[in-house]
Structure 1
Amino acid sequence: MAREGEVENAKPRAHMLFVYGTLKRGFPNYGLMEDLIGEDDAVFVGTFYTEQPYPLVCGPHGIPYLINLPGKGHRVKGEVYAVSDAAVARLDEFEGVSGGYYERVAVVVEEGGEKVEAEAYFGHRRFGEVLWKMKGEMGLKEYGENEASEYVRKGDRLGGRNTILDLVS
């Protein structure tokens, strides 16, 4: 099925990626997705919901985390992009995968009966459940403008207990 933004003879995009927070269109880090789109390393596919409920919470500095506790929380609204291997490498670096902030995990998302197997950046398992409990097991259905207004960009974060890893270590 042809989707918005598909181009013939484009770079191969081997991954489907579900984004639910600051990488969505109109949100603080969408500039990275725009760069990837401009480099033909990403194409917007559409708006989807997780098939299963998951906790979505905001941690320190208004950073959103999807928590890998299927069946808890809500079906989360986000966007799906078809992305290249090069895009995944850049996004893994941005999301701090090697530093233990996020891990890329398979997730099924759906829209209008269409199911798509994708990957999403979940809060790392070493703190995900702790953060969910710290938030009173209350999650969001969608990361929206109110939550984005609390987001502090990496370069603007001051010292001290700066990250989620500081809170749970």
Structure 2
Amino acid sequence: MTDVFVYGTLKTSFVNYNLYLKPAMDKHKATKRGDAVTVSPFPLVVGGDRCVPFLLDVPGEGEQIYGEVYTVDDACLQALDLLENVSTGYYKRVKIPVILNNETIASYVYIRSVEPNDPLLNLKKISCYTSEEAKEYKSRSEYPNLEILAYIYDIEIHRLPELEMDIHALLQQGHTFQKALITLLGEDK
């Protein structure tokens, strides 16, 4: 089990929490430990063409960042790495000290590397991602990423193309994505 500090769309009630962390919690692959704050300041900005929250890898600049700590299993950690595009270098996963329940712990966080002239450095810095900033967020796709969900729901990767076709067929019949997924996986998934 691994601790992960989340500060943006993975926080409770935000879009990626509802799509990925909440189902992981329902499947006992993640547990919320509580609200936390970074020990050191970092720049947290919202930007890019999709209005994404970025924690920038410039420790000491900005403010202490407020978020939540989750303990996740290996499958959920792989799902989060995929969501955050760690393999492409979009984000990197590093350990930083955070304060949780008046105790300093080391927790992983997804952080964005930046060059000195990166335009993200010029954006307004915030200490907490809120529903106000989330209004402009745009997901990469219309539906949740099935490859990420495969880690959460223990779906074999070779089943994904067929599952995707079946989900689209149910969507055309008026099902929601979640209802289509549950229908296809069975109530016990």
2:121 to 133, 142, 149: 133
Show structure 2 runs of 5+ residues with no match: 143-189
1:72 to 55, 61, 68: 61
Question: Is the aligned partner of 1:55 residue 2:5?
Answer: no
How far the C-alpha of 1:112 sits from its partner, in A, is 4.6
State the distance in 1 between where 2:92 and 2:118 align: 16
Paired residue for 1:39? 27
How far the C-alpha of 1:148 sits from its partner, in A, is 0.4
Q: Specify the structure having the higher radius of gyration (Cα).
A: 2
Show structure 1 runs of 5+ residues with no match: 1-12, 157-169
How many residue pairs were aligned?
A: 140
Paired residue for 1:114? 103
How far the C-alpha of 1:132 sits from its partner, in A, is 3.8
Q: One-letter code of the match for 1:130?
A: D
Give % identity: 34
Question: Is the aligned partner of 1:98 residue 2:87?
Answer: yes
Task: Work out which structure has the larger RCO, using CA pairs closer than 8 Å and 6 or more positions apart in sequence.
Answer: 1
Following TM superposition, the consecutive aligned residue runs of length 4 or more in structure 1 with deviations greater than 6 angstroms are none
Paired residue for 2:128? 142
Question: Is the aligned partner of 1:26 residue 2:44?
Answer: no
State the distance in 1 between where 2:69 and 2:115 align: 25
How far the C-alpha of 1:153 sits from its partner, in A, is 1.1
Query: In proportion to residue count, which structure has more helix?
Result: 2
Q: Describe the superposition over 1:39-79 as per-residue Cα deviations: whole angstroms up to 9, x where unpaired.
A: 21100000000000000001221100101111100000000
